[in-house]
Amino acid sequence: MTNKNTTLVVLFLLSTLMMQSCILPEANHVEPDFYLLALPDHEQNGSVGRVSPAPTFYLREIELPQYLKDNRLVFRPSMESVEFRDYKRWGEPLGDGISRVLGNNLAQRLGTLSYTVFPNRRKNGPQFEIAITILAFEKSSDGKAVLDALIELRDLGGDTFRDSFQASSLLEDETTFAEVRALSNCLGKLSQKLTDLILPDQSPAKTAK
């Protein structure tokens, strides 16, 4: 074989190898699904305990444990372990989602338009300042969504009320949508608790008498 032919063969082999190296294997990447907390329409539209003038409030930044700052949804099979779902994620920071839903629902229940939630700047002189520390907010092994939190409510006079709060909501089915709805329902129960604290005379226990 002549040098020219040898050169042509080598060039052909090299070009073949280069073409093969450019062929990428089929991607196995799976796009995650994203979810948002949202209360049902009847929760958002329902307003209880209307008083005049309507109370004003400021909801401070929601405090979260480190494991809930991840954007993946969490399943808790036991008290000692948590599981993260790589393909099931929150569409916004969880603290922001809790603030949005909780603030909006509380305002609806109080019948007020004068309120702010973090990160928005606090309006001058709110009657109540609310701080929420989330301890747990996830799906549990018994098919429920659970919320465990600490409440701090401070009024204009400087009086401060502190309490713990627990709520759970049964999942309608095994879908992630049902899980998110159940977690949202827990926030609805928390907003009802805050309403009862702000307007104790308008709580169901009081009005039933």
Name the band, by pLDDT with cuts 50, 70 and 90, for residue 6. Answer: low
pLDDT for residue 207 is more than 50:
no
Q: What is the pLDDT of residue 119?
A: 84
Domain parsing of the chain, residue ranges: 36-199
For residue 163, the surrounding DSSP H or E stretch is strand 160-170
Q: What value does the mean pLDDT take over residues 171-188? A: 95
Would you tell me the crossing angle of helices 176-198 and 94-110 to the nearest 10 degrees?
50
Indicate the class that CATH gives domain 36-199: alpha beta
Q: Express as a percent the part of the chain with pLDDT over 90.
A: 62
pLDDT tens sequence across 103-145: 999 999 999 988 999 988 877 788 999 999 999 999 999 999 9
How far is the C-alpha of 206 from the C-alpha of 209, rounded, in Å?
A: 6
Using DSSP's 3-state secondary structure scheme, residue 38 falls into coil
208 in the Ramachandran plot: left (φ > 0), alpha (ψ -120 to 50) or beta?
alpha
For the chain, what is the mean pLDDT? Answer: 84
pTM reported for the whole predicted model: 0.79
Q: What pLDDT is attached to residue 39?
A: 86
CA angle in degrees (0–180, nearest 5) for 122-45-58: 15
Beta carbons within 8 Å of 197's beta carbon, 6+ residues apart:
151, 153, 161
pLDDT tens string 16-46: 655 555 544 555 678 999 999 998 765 655 5
pLDDT (0 to 100) of residue 121: 80
At residue 156, the pLDDT reads: 85
Q: How far apart are the first and last CA of the chain?
A: 108
